[in-house]
Chains A and B, each alone.
Chain A
Amino acid sequence: MTAWIDGRAVERDAAVAAAAELLAGARSPLVAGLVAEAAAVQVAYDLARTLGASVDPAASAAIYADLGALASAGAMATTPAETRGRADLVLVVGRAPWASGLARDLSADAPVRGRAAGRPRTLVALGGTGDGAVQHVAYPAGEAGIPAALGLLRGLVAGRVAGPHPLADLAARLRDALYGVVVYDPAEIGALGAEMLTGLVKDLNETTRCFALALGDPYQGRTAVQVSAWSTGQGPRVGFGRGRPEHDPWRFDAARQVAAGEVDAALWLAALPAPLPAWAGTLPTVALLGAPTGAEARVVIGVAVPGETEGAALWHPGRAVIAWQEAGASAAGAPPSAAATLADLHARLAAAPPRRSAATSELSASC
C-alpha cells in the first residue's frame, strides 16, 4: 500500500489527484520539509513557484544559524577529508560533534598531508567534554555560554585580552597549530556563536592556518540550500506569493505561518526520516513520505527512500557535498520516487492552473 486519503487506502492515482485538488484549491499553500533527494527538492521548488506557495525546509533552524553568520561575517572553512588529512589540532566546540561521532573519528588518525604530516593530532574541547574513550583536553565555556567563550578566545588570540585566563592556554594551542580545525554544530551554537567562531578562525589565519568545520544537519538542509540558491537566487525560506521568489526567513517560517493562520494547505515532503510537524494533522496536508503509516495527513503518498530503494543525489556528510548514492539491495517493489511523484503532481497542477498560474510567474520572471 502506498496511498491513503483520510486514512483509507486508495489507488495511488486517486491520491495524487486528491493532492492536486487540495493544493490547487488553496489560497496560500505551504511546501515544507524537503527531506529528500536533490531532484525531489528541485521539483518542490518548481511546484511552489507554480502554486505561489511558500517554502520552508525541516532543517531551517540549523541552516539559518549558519546562513546568518555567513551573510554577516563570511566564512573560512574546510572539509571533513581535509581535516582528517591535515589537521594537527581539532577544537571541538559544544556537545554535538561528540554525539555525532565526528570527534571520535578525528581522534583515530593523524595528519598525512601538508606541513603537519607526521605530527600527532591533538583534540581539545570547549564547552562540552567528550566520551572518556577519546583523549582530549577540555576547557569550560563558562556561565556566559559558548558564543561568549568564543568571543573571549578570539580576544585572547588577537592579543586584545591580556593577563592570565583559563582559555589563554587554548589560544596558544590554536596559534601554534599548523592546520587547526574548529568543529561545531550551527544548530547548537547559533548564528551569534557561528559568527564569533568565524572571526576567531579568520584572525588565526593572520599567522597560521585554521578553518571551521560545521556539522551537517540530518534533514538534507544543505541540499535544500543549494537547490534554493540556484532556483531562486536566495536562501531556502522563500515565498512565491507574488510570482517572483521573495526570501524572508522570519515571514516564511512554517511554524509561525501556521500559528498565525497565514496558510490554508500544505505539502510535507519527507522521503527520509524526519519528525512530522504537529500541523500535518490539523491543516489540510498532503504528505509524501518514505515510511508512511497512512494516518499522518489528509492525503498520504508513499515514496521511494532515496539512497535505499532508489539511487539518488543526497547530501553526503562524510564528503560534505551533494553526492550520488546508489540504491541498496532491496529496491524491488518500492513505490515511485518523490521526484517522480512531485513531477506527476506538478504536471496536473500546471494543466489545471491554480490561482497563481505558471503563466503568471513566467511572465513576471521575464519582465
Chain B
Amino acid sequence: MLTRIAGGRVVDPTAGRDSVSDVWIEDGRIVATPDRGPDRTIDAAGCIVMAGGVEVHSHIAGGNVVLARLLLPELGVAEPDAPNPHGSGRDVGLLYARMGYTTAVEPAMPPVNALATQLELAEIPLLDRGGLCVMGNDDQLLQLLRDRESADAVRDLVALNVATSRALGVKVINAGGADAFKDGAVRFSLDDEVPAYGLTSRQILDGLLDAVEALKVPHPLHVHCSNLGLPGADDSLIETLAAAEGRRIHFAHAQFYAYAAVDKDNPLTGGFRSAAPRIAEALARHPNATLDIGQVVFGQTATISLDILRQFSGRKAASPRKWIVNAGDAEGGGIVPFRYRDRGPTSSLQFAIGLEMMLLSPDPERTILTTDHPNGGPFTAYPRILHLLMDKEARDREVAAHPKVAAERSGLAAIEREYTLSEVAQLTRSGPAKLLGLTDRGHLRPGARADVAVYRDQADRTAMFARAHRVIKDGTVIVEDGEVVAWTRGRTLQLSVEADAGMARRTESYLQGRFGAGLSSFTVPDAAFPGRRADEPVFEAVACRT
C-alpha cells in the first residue's frame, strides 16, 4: 500500500529539509515521490512531520526496574486510571508512542540477568527496543585484565557477552566501582584501584573502549563515570573524556556530572555551580564524544542505578526513607527513592544546568535529550523540556519562579538561544539514531523505516509534543490524536556479532565453576518467546560497522 502524508511541514535536518511537502510510505519504508497516486492519504496540513523519536537511555526493563516498582508501589498508581511511566511495559510503550517516539533503549542489561530483561523488553508494545550489555565489574573480565591477557581476549569476551545477551551495545557503569564497594569502599575515582584486582577504573575503561572499537560496535562505549552527582564530578567526566584518547565515547546522563565544586579545596561541603560551559567546550573540541543529558524534573521519582557504590552513598537522601542496594554477581543494583523538591534550591539548579547544557550545545546531535528515566524524572517530561528549549519567554517565566541560586550558579538566564524544529529533530531523532548506529531511522530519507510522528503545529509546544496527531510505526498508524489505535509489538534490536568458539569454551568452564550452570543458562533463545508468531519475530539484527 502506498501512503502519502500530505501537506505537512516536513522537518528532517539530515536532508536539510524544513518545508511544506509530502512524505511517501510503501511496505513499511519511506520512498521517494512516486509517479502514481496514493492508496491512502494522511492529511498533515497544519502539522509538523518528523521521523519517530529515538530514546537512547531510559530504564524501562530489567531486575532493578522490577524492584523499583515493588519498593514504591505508590509511585506506579499515582493516578489509577492514567497510564504511568513507572508502571507496566504496556504503559511505557503507550506513553512513548503517544509522544511520537518509536524506538527506546534500556541502557543497563546485566548479562547475568539478560533473559528476564529481554522478556520484559519484549512486553513493551508499539516500540522497537534494545538493551545495552553492562560490563566492567564482572570477575571474568577483571581477571582477564589483571592477568594482562591480550586485547583480543578482552574483545572476544565482550563479543560473547553481547551475543549471548542479544544486546545492541555495551555499557560500563563506574568501572570497578561495584567491586570496590563490595570491599568496603564508599569513594571511587578513575585512578583508584579495585582493591582485589590491582586494576584501576581507567584500565578497565581502556580495555572496554578498545574492545568496542575492535568489534566495530556501532554504538560507542556507553559510559557512566565515577562520582555521579557530587560537586567536582565535572572533573571525572573531563578526565574520562581525556582517557578515551580520541576513541568514540558516550557519556550517560551528563547533567549529573556538570557540577563544578564551588570550593575546590572542600568540594563536598561548598556546594556546586554549573559546569555546563566547560562540558560544552570539551564536547566542541572532541568530535569523538557524545552525551545524553539526564535532565532533572521536579517531583517524586525513584533513582535506579547499577552504580551500587554511588547509590549506597546516596542512601541517606532517600525519600521516602527506604532503599535497596543489591550486591549482584557483577554490579547488582541500587534503588533510592528521591523527591526533586519543586523549586528547591538544589533541584532548581540541577534543572537549570540540564537546560543550559542543551542550550550551549555545539551540536544538538551529540547532546541528546534524556531524563535518564526515572533518575532525573519520567520521560513524559520531554514535551515540556522541548517547549522550554524552543521558547525563551516560557523559560524566563519558569526560571523566575525558581530560587535565585539557580540563576546565580548557572548561565541559563542569559542564554537567548531558542531551539528550531530542526534542532529538536537533531536532539531527539537524528542524533540518537546516529549514536546507536541505526541508519534506518531518525530521518525521513527514502529507505528509512516508516516511523513517523505528525504533530499539530501549536504555539503550546508542550501540548504539541505530548500527544501526537498521528504516529506511524513501520507504516502502520499506531496513534491517532494521542490514543493508541493499533497495538503493534515492535522488535528488539540486537547486534549481529560472532562469538569466538575458544572464548565460549573458556567461558563455559568459568560459568560452570562459578554458578554451577553453563552458557546455555545465560542465553536468550527464540524459544523463550513462544507467544510470538513465526512471521512476527521478536528480534531484529543490526549490523556492525564496516
Contacts and interface: CB of A to CB of B under 8 A. Distances in A.
Are A and B a genuine interacting pair, yes or no?
Answer: yes
Interface of A: 38-39, 42-43, 67, 70-79, 81-82, 85-86, 113-115, 117, 178-179, 205, 208-209, 211, 225-227, 229-235, 244-247, 311-313, 316, 318-319, 321-326, 337, 339-340, 343, 362, 364-367
8 contacts: A38-B119, A39-B530, A42-B531, A205-B312, A205-B325, A226-B116, A229-B69, A326-B520
B70 A325 contact: no
Contacts of B324: 70, 74-77
Given A76-B324, A234-B76, A366 B484 contact: yes
A117 B196 contact: yes
Contacts of A208: 184
A322 B119 contact: yes
B358 to A, nearest CB: 30
Contacts of B72: 71
Given A225-B70, A233-B76, A74 B88 contact: no
Interface in B507-542: 514-517, 520-525, 527-531
Interface in B465-495: 483-484, 487
Contacts of B195: 114-115
B516 A318 contact: yes
A324 B81 contact: no
A365 B125 CA distance: 13
Given A42-B119, A232-B88, A323-B522, A343 B80 contact: no
Given A234-B77, A323-B517, 18 more contacts: A70-B70, A71-B72, A74-B318, A74-B322, A205-B312, A209-B183, A226-B116, A246-B80, A247-B73, A313-B119, A319-B329, A321-B112, A321-B113, A322-B113, A324-B521, A324-B522, A339-B531, A362-B487
Contact of A322 (B73, B91, B116, B531): B116
B326 A78 contact: yes
Interface of B: 61, 63, 65-67, 69-73, 76-77, 80-81, 83-84, 86-91, 94, 112-113, 115-116, 119-120, 123, 139, 179, 182-184, 195-196, 312, 318, 322-329, 332, 335, 483-484, 487, 514-517, 520-525, 527-531
Contacts of A209: 182-184, 327
Contacts of A245: 88
B511 to A, nearest CB: 10
Contact of A113 (B70, B139, B322): B139
Contact of A75 (B80, B84, B112, B326): B326
B179 to A, nearest CB: 7
A325 B77 CA distance: 35
B76 A321 contact: no
Contacts of B65: 229-230
A231 B323 contact: no
A366 B88 contact: no
Nearest to B322: A74
Contacts of B515: 81, 318-319
Given A81-B514, A230-B61, A366 B322 contact: no
A85 to B, nearest CB: 7
A82 B178 CA distance: 12
A330 to B, nearest CB: 17
Interchain residue pairs A-B with the least CB separation, the first 3: A233-B87, A74-B322, A233-B76
What is the predominant secondary structure among interface residues of chain A facing chain B? mixed
A316 B325 CA distance: 21
Contact of B521 (A78, A323, A337, A365): A323
Among the interface residues B66, B182, B521, B530, which one has the most CB atoms of the partner chain A within 10 A? Answer: B530
A211 B327 contact: yes
Contacts of A72: 322
Nearest to B312: A205
A114 B182 contact: yes
A257 to B, nearest CB: 21
Nearest to B143: A113
Nearest to B124: A230
Contacts of A231: 88-90, 123
Contacts of B179: 114
B528 A313 contact: yes
B88 A233 contact: yes
A242 to B, nearest CB: 9
A233 B483 CA distance: 20
Contacts of B76: 233-234
A343 B529 CA distance: 12
Nearest to A243: B81
B119 A234 contact: no
Contact of A38 (B71, B322, B328, B528): B528
Contacts of A312: 528
Contact of B530 (A73, A322, A326, A337): A337
B88 A179 contact: no
What is the predominant secondary structure among interface residues of chain B facing chain A? mixed
Contacts of A232: 87-88
B155 to A, nearest CB: 24
Nearest to B183: A115
Contacts of A78: 326-328, 332
Contacts of A234: 69, 73, 76-77
A81 B329 CA distance: 7
Contact of A233 (B91, B196, B514): B91
Contact of A321 (B61, B87, B116, B529): B116
A225 B531 contact: no
Contacts of B323: 74
Nearest to A327: B527
A322 B112 CA distance: 10
A245 B65 CA distance: 18
A316 B517 contact: yes
A225 B71 CA distance: 13
A324 B69 contact: no
A71 B123 contact: no
Contacts of B328: 78-79, 82
Given A72-B322, A313-B528, A366 B182 contact: no
B137 to A, nearest CB: 11
Contacts of A82: 182, 327-329
Contact of B115 (A85, A324, A337): A324
Contact of B196 (A115, A244, A313, A364): A115
A246 B73 CA distance: 11
Contacts of A316: 517, 521
Contacts of A205: 312, 325
Contacts of B528: 38-39, 311-313, 324
Contact of B90 (A85, A227, A365): A365
Nearest to A210: B327
B462 to A, nearest CB: 20
A265 B529 CA distance: 28
Contacts of A326: 520
Contacts of A323: 115, 517, 521-522
Contacts of A70: 67, 70-71, 324
Contacts of B183: 114-115, 178, 209
A268 B80 CA distance: 29
Contacts of A115: 183-184, 195-196
Contacts of A229: 65-66, 69-70
B112 A319 contact: yes
Given A323-B522, A324-B115, A230 B66 contact: yes
Contact of B529 (A39, A74, A76, A367): A39
Contacts of B521: 316, 319, 323-325
Contacts of B332: 78-79
Contacts of B90: 231, 365
B235 to A, nearest CB: 27
Contacts of B523: 324
A217 to B, nearest CB: 15
B482 to A, nearest CB: 9
A322 B62 CA distance: 11
A117 to B, nearest CB: 7
B170 to A, nearest CB: 20
